[in-house]
Amino acid sequence: MEQHRCSCSCGASCCTGGGRQPRSLSARGTKALLPFSPYIQAMNEAKSFAWSPTNPHGYFLMATAESVLSFDLIHDKIRSCREIPPTAGLYSNFRGGQALRNALAKMMQRTFMGVEIDPSHICISSGVTAVLDLFFFATCDPGDGCLIPAPYFPAFDNDMNIRNEVAPLPVQPKDTHTYIPTVAEMDAAVDEAAKRNVRARVLLITNPGNPLGTLYPEATLKELLLWAVRREMHVLSDEIYANSKFGTSEDEFVSLEKVAQNAVEEKLLSPEMVAEFVHTAYGMSKDFGMNGFRVGCLHTKNGDLLNLWQNMGMFAAVSNDTQHALAVMLQDDTFVDFYVEENKRRLKNSYNLLTSAFTSVKLNYMPACAAMFCWLDLRSLLTECTFEAERALWKEILEDCKVLLTPGEACHYAEPGFFRVCYASMPPEHLQVACTRLTSFVEKKRRKRKLSSA
């Protein structure tokens, strides 16, 4: 009998694309067959036929949060750190080896957290995705909810829901200049969730932001922190882009750990409340361009969470070989400081190249100062103000330009017509070609519209 092939590009004999339900998997296994991204098939196809000078008809992948801008520096350095120690073949602490926890604590304290970090409060897992998966397992029951200011990173839904059945609760800020929610909007989101019998258990903040590339003001972080902790709600700050602030802005980056420490000193929160409910995620994927190394960490003072990681960390442990090499690299303060500053310079250069192209054809975008994203406003190109029209425009850009963007709908933004553009996923000379394709497409669309209305 001929087996049905999945409608995605994986080629597996699964069942989600053709109607037949799999007989061999559990209900949760069947759920996990669904693609974690609405545009994963397009992403796979773009990766398999990527643009290069020798493949001028290929795709530009601008929907993946990867940076290739400074990996040449990491590549050269990590090769010199690869001597395998005699203990590499033995089991180590499942919260992470002591050497890497020491090195991460020192680097994070020096470069962005601004508070003293005890290495025993660091838990290491195979990427921030694994960190979030285990964090939600530990802090939420199935059916609980997580508040997330929108627009937000599309894969967060998968991180919390696919195994732990935690419901994402997007908060849509009315302030479209900053996209920062007010306490009243947070209250409304909690009340709305309660009507559906969903208990808001966690507030997830991304700072610097994805997809916006902006920073939370310190006063806002303080307000949200007090609001959540006083309700005995966990606050998780994803600061994976903390060392990628390349531009000027009204706000400087301030870690939530620093905000929490200040709140304790001002006697607004007790040390015990902060220890129980305030947590920070960081990883090597973004600032250091090491997505494939799969190294993320959680900073927490919650004793129960630390003990849980000791038991559960084995399911997402990082190899001792990788831990050793990263520890050696991060212990070199001179290299880390040089790398961080040089990476910021390269990010700024690519951001300026991208936004200059957008400005040249009068495209609106949200000014960014950090991370690797530009929030592009293409509402003027929609045929109507609907997500169906946004999807049609996204497909047209993909087919005509062979440029893959992240649609705003995937980021859970309430208004159609916005797209996330990742500009660090290619070197500047390639980015220039991608920009030319996009701007030419915009001008062609405008000419067609002008002719049709004449």
**Distance of alpha carbon 68 from alpha carbon 290, whole angstroms:** 9
Q: What is the mean pLDDT of the chain?
A: 93
pLDDT at 317 over 50: yes
- Give the separation between CA 82 and CA 103, rounded to whole angstroms: 16
Q: Identify whether 10 is part of a domain.
A: no
Q: Does a structural domain hold residue 441?
A: yes
182 shares its domain with 303? yes
Query: Each residue of 18-31: b (16+ CB within 10 Å) or e?
Result: eeeeeeeeeeeebe
Nearest to 260 by CA among 197, 292, 198, 218: 218
Decide which of 279, 303, 335 is a domain's last residue.
Answer: 335
Query: Given this model, what pLDDT does residue 253 score?
Result: 97
pLDDT score for 287: 97
Is the residue at 409 inside a domain? yes
Point out the domain boundary residue: 335, 352, 377: 335
Domain identity same for 146 and 195: yes
Residue 9 banded pLDDT, cuts 50, 70, 90: very low
- Residue 30 inside a domain? The answer is no
Taking only the tens place, the pLDDT of each residue in 266-297 is 999 999 999 999 999 999 999 999 999 999 99
Beta bridge partners of 297: 124, 282
Statement: residue 437 has pLDDT above 80? yes
Q: Residue 396: which CATH number?
A: 3.90.1150.10
Please write the tens of the pLDDT for every residue from 173-190.
999 889 999 999 999 999
Residue 279 in domain: yes
Greater model confidence, 12 or 42: 42
Indicate whether 98 and 175 sit together in one domain.
Answer: yes
pLDDT for residue 229 is more than 70? yes
What's the pLDDT at 27?
A: 87
pLDDT computed for residue 16 by the predictor: 44
Residues 266 and 356 in one domain: no
Please tell me whether residue 170 adopts helix, strand or coil conformation.
Answer: strand
Number of domains in the chain: 2
Asked whether residue 15 is domain-assigned, the answer is no
The residue out of 305, 335, 365 marking a domain boundary is: 335
Residue 123 and residue 131: Cα distance in Å, rounded? 8
* Structural domain harbouring 155: 86-335
Residues 395 and 331 in one domain: no
Compute the distance between CA of residue 293 and CA of residue 295 in angstroms, rounded to an integer: 6
**Among the listed residues 290, 299, 250, the one whose alpha carbon sits nearest the alpha carbon of residue 107:** 299
The band of 453, judged by pLDDT with boundaries at 50, 70 and 90, is confident
Q: What is the pLDDT of residues 75-122, one digit of tens each?
A: 999 999 988 888 888 888 999 999 999 999 999 999 999 999 999 999
Which band of pLDDT confidence, cut at 50, 70 and 90, is reported for residue 344? very high
Quick: pLDDT tens for 198-213.
999 999 999 999 999 9
What pLDDT score does 454 carry? 67
Q: Is the torsion defined by CA of 254, 256, 258, 264 positive or negative? A: positive
What pLDDT does 131 receive? Answer: 98
**pLDDT: is 453 or 187 the higher one?**
187
- Orientation of helix 320-330 relative to helix 333-360, angle to 10°: 90
* Same structural domain, 188 and 264: yes
Q: What is the pLDDT of residue 19?
A: 53
* 219: in domain: yes
pLDDT tens-place string over residues 15-73: 444 455 667 899 888 888 888 777 888 999 999 999 999 999 999 999 999 999 999 99
- Are 397 and 315 contained in the same domain? no
pTM, entire model: 0.92
Question: What pLDDT sits at residue 91?
Answer: 87
Residue 90: per-residue pLDDT: 84
When pLDDT is averaged across residues 148-161 and rounded to a whole number, the result is 96
- pLDDT, residue 338, reads 98
DSSP assignment letter at 194 = H
- pLDDT, tens digit, 9 for 90 and up, residues 231-253: 999 999 999 999 999 998 888 99
Output the CA angle 118-315-311, nearest 5 degrees. Answer: 55
- Give me the pLDDT at residue 11, please: 38
Whether residues 395 and 410 share a domain: the answer is yes
Write the DSSP symbol of residue 115: S
Q: Do 179 and 60 sit in the same domain of this protein?
A: no
Residue 313 CB contacts under 8 Å (≥ 6 apart), including other chains:
94, 95, 96, 123, 124, 125, 134
Query: What's the CATH number where 253 sits?
Result: 3.40.640.10
User: Which of 140-149, 244-253, 339-348 is predicted with the least confidence, judged by mean pLDDT?
Assistant: 244-253
pLDDT for the residue numbered 15: 42
- Residue 17: what pLDDT? 45
Query: In terms of domains, do 177 and 262 share one?
Result: yes
Report if residue 114 sits inside a domain. yes
105 and 46, same structural domain?
Answer: no
247 and 292 assigned to the same domain: yes
